[in-house]
Each structure stands twice: as structure tokens, then as C-alpha cells.
Amino acid sequence: MNARRLALLGATGSIGVQTLDVLRTLKAEGYPLSVTALAAGTRVEPLAAAARELGARAVGVGGPDEARAIRTLLPGDVEVVHGPSGLEQLTRRDDVDLVLNAVVGAAGLRATLAALGAGKLLGLANKESLVVGGELVRALGPDPEAIIPVDSEHAALFQLLQGVERSEVERLWITASGGAFRDLPPAALAQVTAAQALAHPTWQMGPRITVDSATLVNKAFEVIEAYHLFAEDWAKIDVLLHPQSIIHALVELVDGTVLAQLGPHDMRIPIRYALTHPARLGQPPARLPLGGQSLDLAPMPPDRYPAFHTVLEAGTTGGTAPAVANAADEVLVAAFLEERISFPAIAEGLDDVLGRHRVQPADRVEAVEAADGWGRAEARRFVERAR
Ligand code: NAD
Ligand code: MG
């Protein structure tokens, strides 16, 4: 097998650092994978250290200041690029076969489009690419095997659907832990703090996705992601509450059979699979102790997670609505983490901003980016009014 050559975007984040860990174990196992390029936003020291350790040929950073700073930390023959066009450049390089997109937010979209447009394999953690730009990604008509999802539920669906005829699928289910506040009475939610929201019951993740897991906005994003990856019909995708986060997804077939994918809640498992697919390699970071493990599944409660329904409606509406939902959510989550708005105000702000959005077709990246800018500005106004 030829060695795969990787560009890892978002190398300093939660998924990025876990990917570096997987790369170290793959290297120790002698697996043929080399790292051509690494990129991140602002934290140049850890990025430069990883680039030196892995012998990267190129690095990308957020802007010109970071580019100047990292230049002094790297050997002279390592190329330094910056900004959104820098990410695109890294993905298109001839010496890259596989791009792992672990950037957070809509900033990941252009890299996703560039990677697929250049015929690269894409390991996709950046779910926002599909949330805001799903229609653009589909318009590229990528080979269904070219995108290997890293998000645990979608990695599970990807594996479950191998060898299954689409006409035999009755329904796709993804699971949700219910987030940090699943056991609180709704009246207590107005008082919860950022620190409490960041304590996810089962997964260790970046700050935005952890708060999105408490509002279940993350789950609405994941339904949208599943729609663009695997389904043509919104009615065929559903969510189950599953507090143990052991079953990641289920596929119900027309004959009543239900297939489920289970695994430890450790993102290094889907990351490793995205890097080595279709091969499966040993030495997992954890194994599931199945004996004595209880598995609870429950339907989504209708009223507890208002932001889930608002964002899902934006997804089914399509066009620029999901881009506005994502942008507004990013601003509202940041305001909540800075203790400028309450936790329930995240859902209220989404409802307010989306209620005023005039949906346009999302047929160009520029249309998506304009909607993103509008959603951010409107959410900032909501935050000002809410204070
Ligand atoms: P994070 O905030 O921990 O890391 C984000 C990374 O993106 C950092 O390296 C940051 O420097 C980089 N970045 C941000 N803006 C950038 C820009 N403009 N240009 C270049 N780099 C930029 O986030 P995370 O939790 O690792 O999540 C990354 C993605 O993976 C998100 O889309 C998230 O929804 C998805 N995801 C994460 C998990 C998880 O367990 N953390 C699970 C499933 C899916
Ligand atoms: Mg997920």
C-alpha cells in the first residue's frame, strides 16, 4: 500500500490533538502515513512543535501576525501560509492525499470544498461544513466514499451502511447524551453557569461543541450532517436520547432488523478509522466493557430542547437558513461563555435571529458567507438587547 500523505487542519484543537496522538501510535505501529501539512488558528507554539516533530513540509495559521511568529519557530524550508486561502492551498497540494478537517466553525467550509474539488480523501470532523454548505458540497457530487466522517454518530452510520442497499433503509437514528443539564428541572436552566455547561457527562470536547451538546444544537447540526451524507429524506432521520453514549447510531432496515454501532466514547477511534479506512488496525485507546453495561434509549422529549427544534427547522428550510443558525449560535454560545447572556437566551436568540432571516439560495460560497455575516451581526444585536 502506498503511504498516505496527510494535511491536518485544526491541529491544536480537541480533535486535532487527539489526531496527533493517533498519528504517534500509527507511527509506532509502522503504519505508512506521513504528515505533509498542519494548520491551526492562533496557538503557534504547539503548532510549530507538532510540525517539527512530524516533519511537516507546510503550516497554515490564522493571519499574518501568526505567520510571522511561527516563521521564527520552523526550519527555513517549511512553507508558511495564512488565512482562508492558506487552508485551501494546503488541501490542494500535490503531496497531500488525505485532508483531516478539524477546524471549528464555518471557517472549515472552504477547505472542505477545496479538498473535494481537488479529488482528495476527506476525513470530516468539521460538521459545520455540511451544516452551512451541505448544498454546495453535494453540488460537487463527491464520491460517497471520499468523505469519511469523524463525528462519532456519522462514523457509526458510515460503517453501518456499508453493504446495505439504500432502498432497504427504513430509518437512521443518531443518539444524544442529553448534555450537561439533562437532569435539571427546566426552571433551573436560567441560573446555570458556563463552567457547569462545559462539564459534559460523557465526552471531552472543545468549548463550543460542549455548550452545543447542552442545548442539543449540536444534535440538530448532526441531523443536518446526516441528511447531507446519507439520506435524501428528513423523515428518515431521528434522534434518541442515550445517556451512556455507547451506542452512537442505529440503522433500521425495512424488514424490521435494527443494526447498531457501539464503542467507547473516545474520539481517537473514529479519527483512526478515518485515517486508515478501509483498514482497521489494532491497539485501540480503550475497549468497551460490555458485561454489566446498561444501555438506555428514550425518545427526544418534545419541549425540553427548544434550540434543537429551531436549528433543525433551519436545516429543513435549507438555503442560507442553516448558515445563519450556525453563525448566530457561535456568537450566542460565546456570549454565554463570557456570562453576558443566560443559557436559555441561546435558544431565544436563535429563534429571534432566524425568525427575521429572509432565506436566500445557498448556491455560492459567497451567499453562505454573507448569511454568516448577517447572522453574526444580528446575534450580537440580540446579545446587546438581552443584557
Ligand atoms: P476546538 O475549538 O478544540 O479546535 C478548533 C481548531 O480549529 C483549533 O486548532 C483552532 O486553532 C482551529 N481553527 C479555528 N479557526 C480557524 C481558522 N479560521 N483557520 C484555521 N484554523 C482554525 O474544536 P474541536 O472540539 O476540536 O472541534 C473541531 C471540529 O470537530 C468542530 O467542527 C466540531 O463540531 C467537530 N467535532 C468535535 C468533536 C470533539 O470531540 N471535540 C466531536 C465531533 C465533532
Ligand atoms: Mg457527534
CB contact at 8 A, 372 and 314: no
CB contact at 8 A, 323 and 106: yes
pLDDT of residue 200: 76
Q: Is 121 in the pocket of ligand 1 (CB under 6 A)?
A: no
* Residue (of 236, 258, 241) closest to 171 by Cα position: 236
Is a pLDDT exceeding 80 seen at residue 2?
no
Atom of ligand 1 minimally distant from the CA of 42: 11
High-pLDDT (> 90) share of the chain, %: 89
Q: Is 39 in the pocket of ligand 1 (CB under 6 A)?
A: yes
**319/86 Cα distance (integer angstroms):** 27
Of all helices (H) and strands (E), which one includes residue 324? Answer: helix 321-337
Structure-block grid coordinates of residue 171 = 430509518
Q: Is 270 in the pocket of ligand 1 (CB under 6 A)?
A: no
CB contact at 8 A, 216 and 308: yes
Whether residue 207 is preceded by a cis peptide bond, meaning omega within 30 degrees of 0, is no
Helix, strand, coil: what percent of the chain each, to 5?
Answer: 50, 15, 35
CB within 8 A of 184, min separation 6: which ones? Answer: 192
Determine which residue's CA is closest to atom 1 belonging to ligand 1.
13
Per-residue pLDDT of 306-356, as tens digits, reads: 999 999 999 999 999 999 999 999 999 999 999 999 999 999 999 999 999
**263/29 Cα distance (integer angstroms):** 22
**H-helix segments, 238-320:** 268-276, 306-317
**375/325 Cα distance (integer angstroms):** 7
CB within 8 A of 185, min separation 6: which ones? Answer: none
Q: Is 59 in the pocket of ligand 1 (CB under 6 A)?
A: no
Of all helices (H) and strands (E), which one includes residue 230? Answer: helix 217-230
Per-residue pLDDT of 360-387, as tens digits, reads: 999 999 999 999 999 999 999 999 999 7
Q: Is 109 in the pocket of ligand 1 (CB under 6 A)?
A: no
CB contact at 8 A, 7 and 50: no
Specify the pTM: 0.96
Per-residue pLDDT of 226-263, as tens digits, reads: 999 997 899 999 999 999 999 999 999 999 999 999 99
- With the most atoms of ligand 1 within 8 angstroms of its CB, the residue from 205, 208, 218, 224 to mutate is 205
What's the CA-to-centroid distance between 174 and ligand 1, angstroms?
A: 21
Q: Which ligand is nearest to the CA of 46?
A: 1
pLDDT band for 158, please (50, 70, 90 cuts).
Answer: very high
- Start-to-end CA span in the chain (Å): 58
The residues that bridge with 210 in the sheet, in sequence order, are: none
- With the most atoms of ligand 1 within 8 angstroms of its CB, the residue from 209, 245, 272, 372 to mutate is 209
**20/269 Cα distance (integer angstroms):** 13
What's the CA-to-centroid distance between 175 and ligand 2, angstroms?
A: 9
Q: Is 50 in the pocket of ligand 1 (CB under 6 A)?
A: no
Q: What b/e readout covers 346-372, taking b as 16+ CB neighbours within 10 angstroms?
A: bbbbbbbbbeebebbebeeeebbbebb
Q: Is 179 in the pocket of ligand 1 (CB under 6 A)?
A: no
CB within 8 A of 384, min separation 6: which ones? Answer: none
CB contact at 8 A, 315 and 321: yes
Higher pLDDT, 141 or 103: 103
Q: Is 323 in the pocket of ligand 1 (CB under 6 A)?
A: no
**349/378 Cα distance (integer angstroms):** 9
Q: Looking at this protein, which amino acid is placed at residue 47?
A: L
Q: What b/e readout covers 284-315, taking b as 16+ CB neighbours within 10 angstroms?
A: eeeeeeeeeeeeeeeebeeeebbbbbbbbebb
Is a pLDDT exceeding 90 seen at residue 283?
no
pLDDT band for 1, please (50, 70, 90 cuts).
Answer: low
What's the CA-to-centroid distance between 368 and ligand 2, angstroms?
A: 23
Task: Average the pLDDT over 287-311 and give the result.
Answer: 93
Structure-block grid coordinates of residue 157 = 452510520
**143/152 Cα distance (integer angstroms):** 21
The distance between the two most distant Cα atoms of the chain, rounded to a whole number of Å, is 62
Residue 170 backbone phi and psi in degrees, to 5:
-90, -40
